[in-house]
Structure 1
Amino acid sequence: MKVTLGRQSILLLGVNGLFALAGALSGTFLNVYLWKSRPDYSMLGWFTVSQQLALGATFWLAGKWVKEHDKMIALRLGTGLSGLFYMLVLWAGPKAVDWIWPLGILLGCSLGLFWLAFNVVYFEVTDRENRDLFNGWVGLLGSVTGIVGPWFSGLIISRMADNTGYRLIFTVSLVIYVIAVVCSFFLKKRKVSGTYCWDEPLKQLSRKGSPWRPLGVGLIAQGVREGVFAFLIALLVYVATQQEYKLGQFSLITSSVALVSYWAAGKWFKPRYRSMGMLSGAILLFLVLLPLLWKVGYGTLLFMGIGSAIGMPLYMLPMISAGFDLMGTSDENVEKRVELVVLRELCLMTGRLLGLASFLVIVQSQPSLQEMVWLIVALGAFPLVGWIAIRSLLSTHDPRAPQRK
């Protein structure tokens, strides 16, 4: 039977694509912009910590509104606050580095609201049969925006004097966020039911034999890598080349590879291949880091980026699908889908904060570049921990089992 996506799924992909495009245009260069104002690894680390703390708190607190009221408002508010964030960065200019915590908290709140609502709606408009296809399209759109956005931004920034290019790109992102808000009004208002259970994540993780326990460990392992890699790799490319255009080129090449790999994964990656595919992806994500131990240059960073673009879909699609599949295994879990989305994000946040904590400890002693690389390699091994944690879920869950929605 041919697997397809419904109209609401396609519209949700469109809103996600616009959100991703705005982020790709400005987000890739945001940390470089801050770095040029104050070259301080610790400052960027704390900026990311503030985002993660606000993101996790927003998921947990906003869960009540999303479950009991209107999740579409949360989706639009998150998109609008992202636009407000870049408006404030434009207003603050180089002095934005003096407002790291409030800006990081605002960005974290905007991301938390958007992704909480997006993940809940995503679960509601997909099922087990087309979830890998939807995830493949999300990755595909992310790759397309990753090709166009950073390359265009790098070209504009490198050709304009001072910070004029940054101001232009941040303004364009602001406009795209507004368009995304408008498009979101075409999404149907989703039904709400039940009462939000504040301590449900803790209940699930403390329950003996709960499948969310190994999945939680896997998500924490995923977050350990994400927390640092999300900002440090792009910054290292800039530090190695001192050219925004090179960073844009790096994103263009790696996102082009990711486009093909996500398309292939979405088309051919079936549930029965998840365990072996995830292991292969985890091994590849680690191996491509090893050349950095000999030299940190544009060539080795590009090799790592291309290898990661190939391995990431193999690793991420099983991890994402496994969590959302668990939400559909019983009527009780379906009813608690908001709380389970919050649980998922809190586990990721915990992992990201652990990774960032190790990064901040290292940078306090002003490490050499080689010491930073060893940290990157160590963090890059955590996808293997993630596979070990959830391999039983991938192997034992029957992909033919019906889902209750």
Structure 2
Amino acid sequence: MEQLKASGGKLDSQAILLLIVHTLFGSANALSGTFVGVYMWKAKNDFTIVGWFTLMTHLTMMVTFWLAGKWVKEHNKMNVLRAGVFVSACFYMLVLWLGKGSVNHFVWLGMVQGVSVGFFWLSFNVVYFEVTDPDNRDKFNGTVGLLAAGAGIVAPWISGMLIVSLGDLAGYRLIFSISLGIFVAGVVLSFFLKKRKVSGTYEWLLPLRIFRLAETPWKRVATALMFQGVREGVFGFMIGLLVYISTSSEASLGNFALITSAVSLVSFWLTGRFIKPRYRKISMLIGSVMVVAAILPFFWRMSYGTLLIFGIGSALFFPLYSVPMVSSVFDLIGADEESAKQREEYIVFRELSLNVGRVLGVLVFNLVISWSKAPLVINVLLLGIGSSTFFSWLFMRWRLSTAKS
């Protein structure tokens, strides 16, 4: 298997370029993605509209991952990466074109975003697997998180300031336009990434084959990933909405993102630097418990202050959960020659498991919110969904115990 890394665990120019493309993709989404849910909320003041938009995104992602797996496995995976960035640009073009009417087309917009995210992350994760190994995987994941946090510090804050200073119409148009430009730059830069080797034939039904096996670690891993997805599916859009609803200010949401991303940057840097494979089990346990504990202040009062406590707590401890989780799953893919050869299929399987959890989480959210929007109900719902990280650890702890120093 081709590896693009230098001696001593340092990544070569191609790996660094991959990180830069990832950062551009993340920056463009941080600039505008944080405010897409708010944009729709302001048009209808309806949690379920944003929920259904998110649900369509995740459902489409699942289908995209499964179908695009053949393209990545047998053809040019770098074109899939570029397609993801390009379709993301198309998403923001559509939002610009539709304007406030975007809320009436949340199904189609969710599908476009699902295709873009599916293309990008499938290709990125396959290349990521190829440029890392168990010795430098935690470091790479920490660097990815650090760069994403860096983008999260600057981009949403700038967006919030622009929207407040220019007004809704001009402000949103400007940030969506800037995102469009960054995506175009990402496409251009991606052409400097070398075309990578392809081999083998795509196994369409590998997920079904895995669940038919009597003994396989992937069943427990898939369950852990599903629980992780439950939290991601809801918290990915709900927290930003709650911050906006509590303050009625995009600038406050931008400040929230700035503060929490700054904390996340430091935490990802420390986690990537100091968490070794032998510490993954305790690291993930601490992270999974503490991000649940960060939800408890909501039961005192839902306000910008308690949301900030939650945001800082999650930013501080979530890397302790996520870095070992990602590294352990990818180590399992590379555990033997057979699974390494089917890395595309296993990465598709990983993403399908995550998205099943995301879909389930959003479905539960939509059902509960349709029944009641009482503060206590929302808090209990967030606590229940947020607790999924602990159950994810329960299903992964056996795998974390096998990590070598």
Which TM-score applies when normalising by structure 1? 0.97
Query: Could you report, residue by residue, the CA deviation over 1:240-268 in whole angstroms, capped at 9, with x for unpaired residues?
Result: 00000000000000000000000001111
Query: C-alpha separation between the residues in 2 aligned to 1:144 and 1:302?
Result: 18
Q: Of 393, 397, 402, which residue of structure 1 is paired with 2:399?
A: 393
SS in 2 for 1:367: coil
Which residue of structure 1 lines up, in the alignment, with residue 297 of structure 2?
291
Which residue of structure 2 lines up, in the alignment, with residue 218 of structure 1?
224
Residue 111 (structure 1) aligned with residue 117 (structure 2): yes
Query: Could you report, residue by residue, the CA deviation over 1:310-335 in whole angstroms, capped at 9, with x for unpaired residues?
Result: 11110001110111001111111111
Aligned pairs for 1:336-347 (under 5 A) are: 336-347=342-353
Query: C-alpha separation between the residues in 2 aligned to 1:367 and 1:157?
Result: 28
Query: C-alpha separation between the residues in 2 aligned to 1:368 and 1:386?
Result: 28
Structure 1: where are the runs of 5+ without partners? 401-405
Aligned pairs for 1:12-31 (under 5 A) are: 12-31=18-37
User: Which shifted more, 356-365 or 19-28?
Assistant: 356-365
Aligned pairs for 1:83-162 (under 5 A) are: 83-162=89-168
Query: Could you report, residue by residue, the CA deviation over 1:377-399 in whole angstroms, capped at 9, with x for unpaired residues?
Result: 111111110000010001024x2
Which residue of structure 2 lines up, in the alignment, with residue 352 of structure 1?
358
Q: Is the 8 A contact 1:205 1:216 kept in 2?
A: no
AA paired with 1:350?
V
Query: C-alpha separation between the residues in 2 aligned to 1:31 and 1:124?
Result: 34
Which residue of structure 2 lines up, in the alignment, with residue 257 of structure 1?
263
User: Which shifted more, 54-63 or 388-397?
Assistant: 388-397
Structure 1 residue 208 displacement after superposition: 2.1
Query: C-alpha separation between the residues in 1 aligned to 2:279 and 2:211?
Result: 27
Runs of 4+ displaced beyond 2 Å: none
Say how many residue pairs are matched.
399
Structure 2: where are the runs of 5+ without partners? 1-6
Percent of paired sites with the same residue: 50
Q: Is the 8 A contact 1:47 1:104 kept in 2?
A: yes
Which residue of structure 1 lines up, in the alignment, with residue 4 of structure 2?
none
Query: Could you report, residue by residue, the CA deviation over 1:118-137 in whole angstroms, capped at 9, with x for unpaired residues?
Result: 00000011111111111001
Which residue of structure 1 lines up, in the alignment, with residue 252 of structure 2?
246
Query: Could you report, residue by residue, the CA deviation over 1:34-87 in whole angstroms, capped at 9, with x for unpaired residues?
Result: 111111111111100100010010000010111001101100011000000000
Residue 203 (structure 1) aligned with residue 209 (structure 2): yes
Which residue of structure 2 lines up, in the alignment, with residue 59 of structure 1?
65
Query: C-alpha separation between the residues in 1 aligned to 2:146 and 2:362?
Result: 28
AA paired with 1:335?
K
Structure 1 residue 2 displacement after superposition: 4.2
Which residue of structure 1 lines up, in the alignment, with residue 284 of structure 2?
278
Which residue of structure 1 lines up, in the alignment, with residue 3 of structure 2?
none
Q: Is the 8 A contact 1:67 1:193 kept in 2?
A: yes
User: Which shifted more, 366-375 or 74-83?
Assistant: 366-375
Q: Of 264, 269, 274, which residue of structure 1 is paired with 2:275?
A: 269
Which residue of structure 2 lines up, in the alignment, with residue 373 of structure 1?
379
Which TM-score applies when normalising by structure 2? 0.97
What's the Cα RMSD here?
Answer: 1.0
AA paired with 1:169?
I
Query: C-alpha separation between the residues in 2 aligned to 1:127 and 1:184?
Result: 23
Query: Could you report, residue by residue, the CA deviation over 1:16-41 in whole angstroms, capped at 9, with x for unpaired residues?
Result: 00000000000000100111111111
Query: C-alpha separation between the residues in 1 aligned to 2:31 and 2:386?
Result: 26
AA paired with 1:15?
V
